[in-house]
Amino acid sequence: ETVFDLDLLLQFAEIAPTEDEQHETELHANKEDVDPMTNFGRAEKFFYALIDIVDLALRLKLWIFMMNFKEVVSDKQAQIFQLDAACQRLSKCESFQHILKMVLCWGNHMNASSAHNGNAYGFEIDGLALLPGLKTMDGQMNMMMYLYKTLYEKFPDDLSVFEDLKPIKVCATFDTDMMDKTVLEMKEQFERLQQTVTIFKDDYQDILEWDDRFVVYATKFIKDHKTRLNKLVMLH
């Protein structure tokens, strides 16, 4: 972290050799008539300097995950808290509840000829989106306009709904599907990190340096941030 910031790490990951390229570079470097320091070009020397790093691509991917972790978790937690606050505000908003009752009454009145539809006890919230498409008998207004006119003339206190539900407007911009996907990916990446550290410690002891910086850093990272991830998953 003291040498690579996230942007530099992302750039490095783009040009880092694949496992096959590491292997090919090593084979070429081991030829009797080849001296990597004199016979290799700049790109080959770069690859040669990295041939001894086990699972380089995986390390870089997980390192990027660790460097992104705090920002992503903080962002998703903030969105979840905003959604929760908006739901609480919505469930307690008396002006909105009154408006819903009015819309339900109007719907039952318009469907009075139907024994089923004219005696509804409620409606799906997305039914509100239909109001602009319903015209009054004279065709001068749609139902959304008529609703506002009714509130303005008869129930002005309920116009506070615009202020009361401001948090809803903010949350309406959230992509909840993407939020779900991100939290799931964070959980999967964290589990992958744990598995990788375990494999490195148990199976790669003979080929890794005893103080491998990735293993040391990742072990501490898991210890420090596992609880925070669990809280995010629970909140989600």
Q: What is the predicted pLDDT for the residue at 117?
A: 61
65 membership: H or E segment, kind and range: helix 56-92
Domain extents for the chain?
A: 1-52, 94-164
Q: Is the pLDDT of residue 115 over 70?
A: no
Q: Is the pLDDT of residue 118 over 60?
A: no
**One-letter amino acid for residue 90 of the chain:** L
Where residue 120 falls (left for φ over 0; alpha for ψ -120 to 50; beta otherwise) is beta
**In this structure, how many other beta carbons lie within 10 angstroms of the beta carbon of residue 139?**
7
List the one residue out of 161, 129, 138, 139 whose CA is nearest residue 148. Answer: 161
Q: What is the predicted pLDDT for the residue at 19?
A: 87
Q: Is the pLDDT of residue 195 over 90?
A: yes
Give the separation between CA 47 and CA 18, rounded to whole angstroms. Answer: 9
The pLDDT tens digits of the residues spanning 66-75 come to: 999 999 999 9
Contacts of 132 (CB under 8 A, 6+ apart): 142, 143, 144
Mean pLDDT of 58-84: 93
Give the separation between CA 145 and CA 202, rounded to whole angstroms. Answer: 69
Q: Is the pLDDT of residue 200 over 90?
A: no
Q: What is the DSSP letter of 135?
A: B
